[in-house]
Chains A and B, each alone.
Chain A
Amino acid sequence: MFEQSIILSAIRDAIDWVLGLVGQDISILPLPVQVVLCGLIAAGGLMGAIAFAVLIYVWMERRIAGRMQARRGPNRVGPYGLLQTVADTFKLLRKEDIIPTGANRILFAFAPMLVLAGVVAAFAAIPISWDADKGEPIMIADIDLGIFLITAIVATEVIGVIMAGWASNNKWSLYGAMREAAQVVSYEIPLGLSLLVPVLIVGDLSLGAATEDQLGGNWLIWRNPFMWAVFFIFYVAGLANCKRAPFDLPEAESELVAGFHTEYSGLRFSFFFMEEYASMTLISAIGAIYFFGAGDLFGLQGSSSLIMFGVLLFKILVSIFVMMWIRWTLPRLRIDQVMTLGYKVLTPIAFFLLLGVTVWDLYDLNDKLWELFSRS
C-alpha cells in the first residue's frame, strides 16, 4: 500500500517522526490504523488545498469578470481585493442554515457532501508531480485503474445534484436536477471516449504512467493529427461536466432561479460552490496531464519535482482562465441543444477520432510518414 504512494509514505514517515519524539515508532500502530490515519491526513490536506484554491479561483473569477465587463471587481479588502473571498467565506459560515419546509431533511443535508466528496476523492488519483530519483509520480494513490476510478467517482457528484434538486421541495430545483440528469447522459459519452484516446496511446489507465510517458516534450497532443480535436471534445464535454457556461443549465440563474441549489444557504451552498471550482480544477488537471505533458516543459524543468508541480499548476490555471473567459462571453445553450450537441455532434466525432487514432497507432503512421518525408 505505502510502496505505491509517495505522499502516503511521506505522511507515514512524518507520523513515525512525531511518535519518535515520545520514544515510540509507527510499528506500535496496527497496519489498518496506519492506513486509515495516513488516508485521513491526506484527505484533510487535499480538502484544505482545494478550499484554498477555491478562494483564489473565486477571486480570480471576479477579477477576470470585472476586467471583461468594464468594471473593477473586488479591490478593497486586502491587496488587490485578495481577502474579499476570505471575508465572503466567513459570511457564508455565519449564515443561517435553512432547510425548507417539506424538504427531505436527510437527503437535503447529505447531497452537498456527496457532491463535494466525489470530486475531492478523484484528486487522489491525480499525479501532482514527478519524482525523478525514484522514477515515480507523486500522488496519493497510484492505482492501476486511475482514470477509470476518476470518471467513476466523479459520477457520484451527479447523484448528489439530483438528490439536492429532489430533496429541496422546490419545483425550480427539480428542474435543475432533471436537467443535470439529461445533461449527464449526453456529455459523459464523448467525455469518456475522448479520455479513451490518451489511454490508448499511453497503454495504461494510470495517470502516473501518462506523466512518465510524456517527459521531455513528448506530449500526447503532438502524437498524431487527431489529438487537438480529441482535446477539444474533451474540453467541451469537461465544461459540461463542471456545469460551467455555456452548459450551466442545471443552475441556469435566468431560467431556474438558481437551479438545484435554489434552497441552499450558508455552508451547504458553499459546498456546491466549491464543487464547481474543484471539478474545474479536476478537468483542467486531467487535460494538462493527458494532453499537455503534465508537469513537463520540454524537459527544461530539469529533475526538480517542485518546478514540475509549478508547471502543472500553471497549465491548470491557463485552462481555468479559458473556462472563465468562456463563461463571461457566451450565452447559455438550451437543454435540447446541449443534448443534440452531445449525442449528434460530439459522440460521432469522438468515435471517429478514436477509430482514427487506433488506425494511426496500429500502422505506426508517424514513423511511416517521417520516412516518406525524409526520403523525398
Chain B
Amino acid sequence: MLNPAMPLPDDPLDRDILIGAGDISTDEMYINMGPQHPSTHGVLRVLLRTDGEIVTEAHPHIGYLHRCAEKIGECLDYIKFQPYTDRMDYLAAMNNNLGYAMTVEKLAGLEIPERAQLLRVIIVELNRIASHLIAFGTYGLDAGALTPFFHAWREREEMLTLFEKICGARLTYNYVCIGGVVNDMPEGWEDMVLDFLDRFEKRWKEYNDLLTYNRIFIRRTADIGVITREDCVAYALTGPMMRGSGIDWDLRRDRPYMMYDRFEYDIPIGEGKMGTVGDCWDRYWVRMVEMKESGKIVRQAFDMLKGAEGTHKAKVPKVFKPKKGECYVGIENPRGELGFYIVSDGSKNAYRMRVRGPSFCNLSILEKLLPGAMIADAVMIIGSTDIVLGEVDR
C-alpha cells in the first residue's frame, strides 16, 4: 500500500519505481542527489531511496547534458566533426580527438608519420595527467578536504598553459586531427614540459602526504564501494575502475596502438593495500600512479622524437571521402576504453557514428554499488568512478 502521507515524485519514471516497489514504509525517504548537487560532478542525478543515512536503492538518471553528438557526427564532414569530440570528455579532450582521428584514419587507411605519432603520445599522456589531477582534486573535495583541489588545480593550470602554447586553447584543444596533429611543437616547449614534469614529481609526493595517506581519507575510502572482478566484467568497466579491482588490462599495452609498444611503463593495478581489492582507495591510487607513469612515457617520447622521421601531419585531401566500410577503434582514455565506431557509405559524412564512452559504462555500476552504502559513502563512490557527464550524455 502506498502511504498517502508520502508525496509522489513528479517524474513518471520515479513514480513507477515507487509504486512498483510495493513495500513503502514511512521510515524510508526518496531523495534526489542532483542534478544540482555539489558532488555529482556535473549534472548527474541519482535518485536515492534512503533509510536514515543508509542508501537502500539508487537509480542514476542521465541525459541532462545531451547534445546529440553522435547525430551531429553523422550530419557533418569527417573533418568538421573533429571539434565536437573535444566537448564530450572535456577533461581529456586530446584523448577524445585522438580516438576519433585514429578511427577515421583506419577507415581511410591513412599512414601517420612517426613524428606526428610521438607528438600525439606526448600530448595525450600530458592530458591524462591533467585529467587525473582533476580526479584527484575533486575526490579530495568529495571527502571534505578542499586544499588538495587547489593544489591539483595549480599544476593543472601550468599544464593548460603548456597546452595553450602548443595549440592555443586551454580546454577544447582540437589539436590531434585526422592525419596527425595541427602543428608542430613551438620552440622551447620540450624544455618547458620536462621542467614541469620535474616539479610535478615532487608535488606528486606532496599530494600523497596531504591526502593519500591521511588516516581519515583512508577510513573514508578503504573497503568502500568494493567492485569484484566478476562485476567489472559484467558491467563492462574499463580504465582505472577495472584496474582498481586487480584486472591487469590496459589497451595501450594489450592492444597497442600508435607507438605504445615501444615505451616502458608500468600499469598500476589495485592490490587492496589499505583494505579490500577494488575499493575506492584502490581506484584512487591507480589514478595517482598512472599520473607518474604518464610522465615516464612523455620523457621517453621526447627522447624518441629527436630521431623521429616525417612531419607532424600526413597529407589529407581537402574533401575527405573514406571508402565504404566500417571500423571500430578503442583507445585508453583516462577513464577507460573510449571507442569510436564509424560506418562509412563512401560519402563525405559518416553513415553511422557511435561512441563508446568509458564514463557511460562505468556509471552503470552505481546502481549496484550504492545500495548499502551511507550517503557520505555514496558521494565517495560516485567520486571514485570519475565520470564526466559531457561524455556520459554526449
A330 and B214 contacting across the interface, CB-CB below 8 Å: yes
The verdict on A285 contacting chain B, using a C-beta distance below 8 Å, is: no
Contact of B146 among A69, A70, A171, A179 (CB under 8 A): A69
Assuming the contacts A71-B150, A337-B219, asked whether A254 and B374 have C-beta atoms less than 8 A apart, the reply is: no
Q: How far is it, in angstroms, between the C-alpha of A335 and the C-alpha of B376 when the chains are bound?
A: 8
The verdict on A257 contacting chain B, using a C-beta distance below 8 Å, is: yes
Assuming the contacts A70-B151, A335-B53, asked whether A328 and B375 have C-beta atoms less than 8 A apart, the reply is: no
- By a CB distance below 8 angstroms, the chain B residues around A248 are 144
Q: How far is it, in angstroms, between the C-alpha of A1 and the C-alpha of B150 when the chains are bound?
A: 54
**Chain A: CB-nearest residue to B30:** A171
Q: Is chain B's binding surface mostly helix, strand, loop or mixed?
A: helix
Assuming the contacts A330-B214, A334-B377, asked whether A68 and B147 have C-beta atoms less than 8 A apart, the reply is: yes
The verdict on B154 contacting chain A, using a C-beta distance below 8 Å, is: yes
The verdict on A203 contacting chain B, using a C-beta distance below 8 Å, is: no
Q: How far is it, in angstroms, between the C-alpha of A190 and the C-alpha of B128 when the chains are bound?
A: 47
Within 8 A of B (CB), among A153-189: 171-172, 175, 178-179
Interface string of B199-243 (1 = CB under 8 A from A): 000000000001100101101100000000000000000000000
Within 8 A of B (CB), among A323-340: 328-337
In this complex, the member of A248, A255, A329, A336 whose beta carbon has the largest number of chain B beta carbons within 10 angstroms is A255
A332 and B31 contacting across the interface, CB-CB below 8 Å: no
Contact of B31 among A68, A172, A331 (CB under 8 A): A172
B37 and A246 contacting across the interface, CB-CB below 8 Å: no
Contact of B37 among A65, A178, A257, A336 (CB under 8 A): A257
The verdict on A245 contacting chain B, using a C-beta distance below 8 Å, is: yes
**Chain B: CB-nearest residue to A258:** B38
Interface string of A134-168 (1 = CB under 8 A from B): 00000000000000000000000000000000000
**Chain A: CB-nearest residue to B214:** A331
A254 and B147 contacting across the interface, CB-CB below 8 Å: no
Assuming the contacts A254-B142, A335-B376, asked whether A329 and B29 have C-beta atoms less than 8 A apart, the reply is: no
B39 and A254 contacting across the interface, CB-CB below 8 Å: yes
B39 and A70 contacting across the interface, CB-CB below 8 Å: no
A335 and B143 contacting across the interface, CB-CB below 8 Å: no
- By a CB distance below 8 angstroms, the chain B residues around A256 are 375
Q: How far is it, in angstroms, between the C-alpha of A336 and the C-alpha of B154 when the chains are bound?
A: 34
In this complex, the member of A178, A328, A333, A334 whose beta carbon has the largest number of chain B beta carbons within 10 angstroms is A334
B376 and A331 contacting across the interface, CB-CB below 8 Å: no
B220 and A334 contacting across the interface, CB-CB below 8 Å: yes
**Chain B: CB-nearest residue to A328:** B147
**Chain B: CB-nearest residue to A327:** B146
Assuming the contacts A257-B37, A334-B374, A336-B374, asked whether A328 and B379 have C-beta atoms less than 8 A apart, the reply is: no
The verdict on B145 contacting chain A, using a C-beta distance below 8 Å, is: yes
Q: How far is it, in angstroms, between the C-alpha of A254 and the C-alpha of B211 when the chains are bound?
A: 16
The verdict on B141 contacting chain A, using a C-beta distance below 8 Å, is: yes
**Chain A: CB-nearest residue to B38:** A254
- By a CB distance below 8 angstroms, the chain B residues around A334 are 219-220, 374, 376-377
The verdict on A97 contacting chain B, using a C-beta distance below 8 Å, is: no
Q: How far is it, in angstroms, between the C-alpha of A179 and the C-alpha of B53 when the chains are bound?
A: 9
B144 and A245 contacting across the interface, CB-CB below 8 Å: yes
Assuming the contacts A254-B38, A255-B39, asked whether A331 and B154 have C-beta atoms less than 8 A apart, the reply is: no
A246 and B144 contacting across the interface, CB-CB below 8 Å: yes
**Chain B: CB-nearest residue to A337:** B219
The verdict on A13 contacting chain B, using a C-beta distance below 8 Å, is: no
Interface string of B2-13 (1 = CB under 8 A from A): 000000000000
Q: How far is it, in angstroms, between the C-alpha of A257 and the C-alpha of B211 when the chains are bound?
A: 22
Q: How far is it, in angstroms, between the C-alpha of A336 and the C-alpha of B377 when the chains are bound?
A: 11
The verdict on B339 contacting chain A, using a C-beta distance below 8 Å, is: no
Nearest CB of A to B224, in Å: 9
Interface string of B355-394 (1 = CB under 8 A from A): 0000000000000000000111101000000000000000
The verdict on A253 contacting chain B, using a C-beta distance below 8 Å, is: yes
Q: How far is it, in angstroms, between the C-alpha of A179 and the C-alpha of B376 when the chains are bound?
A: 12
Assuming the contacts A69-B151, A252-B376, A255-B39, asked whether A332 and B143 have C-beta atoms less than 8 A apart, the reply is: yes
**Chain B: CB-nearest residue to A245:** B144
**Chain A: CB-nearest residue to B143:** A331
The verdict on B140 contacting chain A, using a C-beta distance below 8 Å, is: yes
In this complex, the member of B37, B141, B375 whose beta carbon has the largest number of chain A beta carbons within 10 angstroms is B375
A330 and B39 contacting across the interface, CB-CB below 8 Å: no
Within 8 A of B (CB), among A320-376: 328-337
Interface residues, chain B, CB within 8 Å of chain A? 29, 31, 37-39, 52-53, 140-147, 150-151, 154, 210-211, 214, 216-217, 219-220, 374-377, 379
- Name 9 extra pairs, CB < 8 A, besides A65-B147, A254-B38, A336-B374: A65-B146, A68-B147, A69-B147, A179-B53, A252-B144, A254-B39, A254-B141, A254-B142, A332-B220
Closest 8 CB pairs of A and B: A332-B144, A69-B150, A331-B143, A331-B145, A334-B376, A254-B39, A171-B31, A331-B144
Interface pairs (19), CB distance under 8 Å: A69-B150, A69-B151, A171-B29, A171-B31, A178-B52, A254-B144, A255-B375, A328-B146, A328-B147, A330-B216, A331-B217, A332-B143, A332-B216, A332-B220, A332-B376, A333-B220, A334-B374, A334-B377, A335-B376
